Structure 1
């Protein structure tokens, strides 16, 4: 049976680049498409699981299957509404596992890979559903990650707005990083963490270490899709106001460390709140079927 592999980490930390590199390994497969810059996020545990209630109720399962069978992710996995209905009765996690196992088995690989930054907050839940799951986390310098994210936002111009949004991102990144480190302590055999900067400077060595962790042969890989990056060879902090840089550094390395742990437990639960399905769930719906691979 194929093994689930989840790439986790805060947005703008290199999760897409790392996943696209791993997808080039002959023993790893995952859902990908150029419209999604390579690997496609499922957001299954963060946005889909639980949305349609108890799936043992037939009407709930029909609603669930009718929606997800139209989504980009399940269409690219090659699963139809009728095939999903054949899995009834199943839980959310059982359906996702069946779909991904079939996808991997058809390609004769050892791992299927899934990458959704939101799933960083669901690692414990994923482990409970899939006791054999493996995780590769990627950590990026908080200043670079924060300003990389800010560059992609529109309508944030005033200094006060920038500080507010930088603060919000930094808090969320800190929580995600703490969550990943906690899981690493609890399940060291399941979680491997790399640094974005190390992947930039020593890509082959870092990828070889990941292969060793996954117990697969090392292989020269390359990302086959255009990078979803703002990286230009310079640290983001070299192009940003110093007071904003100091603010992010203080908040991440000092300010948040004095906050009681119970506050972050509440924040983690808040981060797991159910949100509307993202607009990109159905990006390919209107495209001709022969363009969907």
Structure 2
């Protein structure tokens, strides 16, 4: 791995929490490169019983690696980053990081940010193969994430969402993902952002994040995030991610009131209220970013 790269950062969280908006803001920083979602680590390790023991890669590791290279237009890097007959997870992980490091250098930047929300469940694997990795966790209010998951799974690609999600599926996804984030927040290489704070006071939140990432805050993060969004969002994803390029506003509560009747709203509130996000995600104040 390239020692000249000054930061390797992973943005994770429950899907539909605003990760694309935050990624776009960070990607607008002149020293930070970012990429479309790779889903790489989800498909890295073999799942059969003895696979992890021997450190074997899954059968999908190579195809997922090749797919990501096509997406970012770097197909020629395959042979120079991963051996032709690679069997082990560490070979693919090393090759993947080499690709991100190389592209970052090509763009004249010093840090990179990879955003795949579901990599939240691959943190142990990432920390194993990327020793200096940092993680940004984004958490959004449960009612709004449930609403957005419910709507997106009905309005957009069945291939992407696997068909309509039930209310319970949406609730359990949020509860599980928030709990995973909570378990990692005592580590110094992990930090947390509340979506509500991001849209209310984006400069304060981004200034704090820049400190965590090791760069100075740059106004372009607030000015050019719409342009950056078009570079990190794949064309077929734009239908449900277009809001990342729109003016920043807090739309919390709108879908919740629109999509669900009173009984459904009470049911959802009852279940998501078992988690008090404020306990492990205190408000960010202006004094905390100085």
Q: Normalising by the residue count of structure 1, what TM-score does the alignment of the two structures yield? A: 0.70
Q: Deviations over 1:144-191 (max 9, x none)?
A: 111111112238xxxxxxx97121111111111111111112x1x111
Per-residue deviation at 1:69? Answer: 5.8
Per-residue deviation at 1:218? Answer: 0.7
Question: Residue 137 of structure 1 corresponds to which residue in structure 2?
Answer: 137
Q: Deviations over 1:211-256 (max 9, x none)?
A: 01112011011322365349873523332322222212211223x8
State how 1:113-132 maps to structure 2 within 5 Å. Answer: 113-132=113-132
Q: Deviations over 1:46-94 (max 9, x none)?
A: 124437979x99xx899955x3464144551524243245587652221
Question: Residue 200 of structure 2 corresponds to which residue in structure 1?
Answer: 201
**Mind listing any 5+ residue stretches in structure 1 that lack a counterpart?**
32-39, 156-162, 258-293
State how 1:1-293 maps to structure 2 within 5 Å. Answer: 1=3, 2=5, 3-31=7-35, 40-50=36-46, 65=62, 67-68=63-64, 70-76=66-72, 78-80=74-76, 81-85=78-82, 91-154=91-154, 165-185=166-186, 187=187, 189-220=188-219, 221=221, 222-223=224-225, 224=227, 225=229, 227-229=241-243, 233=251, 235=253, 236-239=255-258, 240-254=260-274
CA distance in 2, matches of 1:62, 1:136: 29
The change in CA–CA distance for 1:88 and 1:61 in structure 2 (over 3 A counts) is farther
CA distance in 2, matches of 1:125, 1:85: 18
**Mind listing any 5+ residue stretches in structure 2 that lack a counterpart?**
156-163, 231-240, 277-290
Which secondary structure does the structure 1 equivalent of 2:174 belong to?
Answer: helix
- RMSD (CA atoms): 3.3
CA distance in 2, matches of 1:168, 1:146: 9
Aligned residues: 236
CA distance in 2, matches of 1:49, 1:95: 14
